Amino acid sequence: MLKEGVKKSILVVDDEIGTRESLKMILKADYQVFLAKNAEETFQQLETHPFDLILLDIILPDTDGLRVLEKIKQRDPEQMVIMITATKTVKTAVEAMKLGAYDYITKPFDVDELRLIISRALSTQALKEENQRLWMEIDRSFGFDNIIGKSKVMKDIFKIVRQVANTRSTVLIMGESGTGKELIARAIHYHSPRKNHPFVTINCAAIPDTLIESELFGHEKGAFTNAIERKLGRFEIAHQGTLFLDEIGELSLMTQAKILRFLEEKEFNRVGGSKTIKVDVRLIAATNKDLPQQVKKGEFREDLFYRINVVPILLPPLRERKEDIPLLIDHFIKKFNSENQKNVKGVTPEALEAMINYDWPGNVRELENLIERVVALTQNEYIHQEELPIPFTSISRTNGLKESVLSGRLSFTKAEEEFEREIILDALRRTKFVQSHAAELLGISRRILKYKMDKLGITEEQ
């Protein structure tokens, strides 16, 4: 798309010099106008200049205008072309539209109609380009390349996602919070035949049980207090697309029964309604719970579990795919560099070791949040271990102490003292030796901190 403020370019192709010059006079105030008198000049111009629009005469001296149109469309199927025709060749102009021309204008020209058709054509072209740009953004956001991982378990998941994307099968994504379940669901949707239709999400844990049925299936006016108008549910909104039910394990047994009915019959009723509604929706569900265990306890319907567990995908916690951590760190640094206009190049070996040795209870989401915070605050080219929160700054030292104890080089009591000393010193350095702040950081009272400092021989000079 041309930059705002730059005139759109139009190529006028006509063998009559009067027509060419007339069109140039009419259009030059609003557009860059180029001229060609035959097919040969047309293709010479196309070799050196891209045009937003071509006005093409159907009758040319060296070839048929329809053949020129065909060749233009072979070169660039998206090229916008409007045919110029005399009244007696209108039937041929209609044929040209079947070959891909946007519209046609007849001689003699109605200037207002000419301007309107050109404006409409360029608006349509701009809309197409914007649509293409948006799809490129979607591909960047939800493409397979955005699901980071080189570990075997992640490669196996990529393979399943690619295979299942083009099917209609229901998918159940399982994994701890923060492992990227919604990212997997979006990747499946945006690589499926449904990608041009809605991807609708609902977090089942975030909506009270009294409202979840209305959110899923909609309600009729007057169905309950405050139902002042009809409301479409998520199933209707997702028609021909995908509905992502996050935390499906939180649904009540009654709501589970209604979802089971939909999966079996592809239909439902709005709350307070008698009309049966049929929709075409692919369901992807996710949970951080052990659904088989919930089935045993009677907290989740067994028949629904088997209905949604057609294609199971189990996302591992980050602590079980630590070889992916360097890739994720690099990915998030690039992401937040771009968002914050920073130029952080990476992390130091000590910081990387600390992050690899950390257990990441919050999984990928915790790592992303950490990198976002550190990139925003750092003034360094590389992120240092000291810039990370306390669990990361003490982790390398902790590992060293553990090895010393287990190898018999250090007593457990001495190692305990050394660890306590390290973490207190770290807290004091971070708070510029303001003891009340260091105590707050450590979650202890200032009196206890002072007692421990005296016991361990820690002074401000250290």
Q: What is the mean pLDDT of residues 290-309?
A: 95
276 vs 393, more confident: 276
CATH of span 326-456: 1.10.8.60
CATH of span 9-137: 3.40.50.2300
pLDDT at position 396, please? 53
Report the length, in residues, of the chain: 462
DSSP 185-232: HHHHHHTSTTTTS-EEEEEGGGS-HHHHHHHHH-B-TTSSTT--S-B-
pLDDT at position 398, please? 56
Domain limits, the chain: 9-137, 145-316, 326-456
CB count within 10 Å of CB 134 equals: 10
Q: What is the mean pLDDT of residues 189-203?
A: 91
pLDDT at position 393, please? 62
pLDDT at position 125, please? 85
Quick: pLDDT tens for 77-98. Answer: 889 999 988 766 667 777 888 8
Quick: pLDDT tens for 136-189. Answer: 555 555 555 557 788 888 989 988 998 999 999 999 999 999 998 998 999 899
47 vs 274, more confident: 47
Average pLDDT over all residues of the chain: 86
Quick: pLDDT tens for 337-366. Answer: 989 899 999 999 888 988 988 888 889 999
DSSP 318: G
Quick: pLDDT tens for 423-449. Answer: 888 788 778 788 888 888 888 888 888
Q: What is the mean pLDDT of residues 245-270?
A: 92
Calculate what percentage of the chain has a pLDDT beyond 70. Answer: 89
- 145-316 and 326-456 agree in CATH topology: no
Exposure string over 136-164, b if 16+ CB within 10 A, otherwise e: eeeeeebeeeebbbebeebeebeebbeeb
Please give the CATH superfamily to which domain 145-316 belongs.
Answer: P-loop containing nucleotide triphosphate hydrolases (3.40.50.300)
Exposure string over 100-118, b if 16+ CB within 10 A, otherwise e: bbbbbbbeebeeeebeebb
315 vs 127, more confident: 315
Calculate what percentage of the chain has a pLDDT beyond 90. Answer: 46
Is pLDDT above 60 for 240? yes
pLDDT at position 231, please? 84
Ramachandran class of 178: left when φ > 0, alpha when ψ lies in -120 to 50, beta otherwise? left
End-to-end CA distance of the chain, in Å? Answer: 62
Quick: pLDDT tens for 19-51. Answer: 999 999 999 999 999 999 999 999 999 988 889
Strand, coil or helix: what is 255?
A: helix
pTM for the full predicted model: 0.60
